[in-house]
Amino acid sequence: MSSEGILFVHAHPDDETVATGATIAHYANRPGVDVTVVTCTLGEEGEVRVPELQGLAAHASDQLGGWRLSEYLQAMDALGVDDWHFLGGIGRWRDSGMMGERTNDHPHCFWKADVDYAAFDLVRVIRQRQPEVLITYDPNGDYGHPDHIQAHRVAMRAAELAADPNWSPELGAAHEIRKIYWKALPDSVMRIGFDKLHNSSDNPFAEVEAPEDVPFATPDADISARIRTTSDNGERKLQAMRAYRTQIAENDWLWVLTATLGDDTRTTEYYRLVKGDRGQGSGPYDWEGDLLS
């Protein structure tokens, strides 16, 4: 039986786990499905959440990228992924930091990359793996991070170029991805954790008055797919989150939203279909239950 493939394109180590970890585990542990994770930077500008490791930070020894690589490998193992790839090679593109920071001007940061140049390596991956499905961010990169926006641009451009038989044929035979999804979070799900976050000392939405005003919340009617997996795969996601000890503390908002609001927040993730035919769905919004359908 031939395999079907899903390609995930993310910006930094831990993004794949936080945003799509349950889905990755769901398909990576399903017979007949090949899962590939492509990560665009090492996340060198990330905030270090462990006091004794503060010396790794960009403003200190600038060694956080190597540490996050080791965390990433542990997370890949937890999720069941053995086909992972850094865009252009490990360390080719540097974390750009948050929008408007001086790190956006670093000569090797991902934000400054020429999109076609960066897409070249991803075209190679697409033509070699021939995935049926691509998952990445929306045009705003969920919440406006430069590297998330750039990952979206590069992924979408690579999907276009990979399907063109006249573009860099030395990279392999042209391959058209059948379905493309953008990661999304429904308004209804955001409401579940909104009150709890407002009572938390670690709340990035303290100034937001209503859950529908959260920048990356999506109207339920605009969601196309809901992937629900097993509690075992939900635990794989939590195990992968624990691997990122420099990035995710067990009392911060990411952990609260994922680990403390019930099994559904660990095992369920949502997507918008932007290319391809919608498969069979269910519920009031006819959400798909299988990205490969």
199 vs 248: CA distance, rounded Å: 19
Burial (CB count <10 Å: 0-12, 13-18, 19+), residue 93: buried
Mean of all residue pLDDT scores within the chain: 91
pLDDT at 264: 77
pLDDT at 263: 63
203 vs 195: CA distance, rounded Å: 10
31 vs 36: CA distance, rounded Å: 14
Instruction: State mean pLDDT over 28-38.
Output: 97
Q: What is the pLDDT of residues 227-280, one digit of tens each?
A: 999 999 999 999 999 999 999 877 776 676 676 655 677 899 999 999 999 999
Residue percentage of the chain with pLDDT more than 70: 88
Q: Both tokens of residue 55? A: 């010396």
Domain ranges for the chain, please list them: 4-288
110 vs 135: CA distance, rounded Å: 19
Instruction: State mean pLDDT over 209-214.
Output: 60
86 vs 196: CA distance, rounded Å: 36
Q: What is the pLDDT of residues 103-136, one digit of tens each?
A: 999 999 999 999 999 999 999 999 999 999 999 9
- Residue range 4-288, CATH number: 3.40.50.10320
Instruction: State mean pLDDT over 221-227.
Output: 97
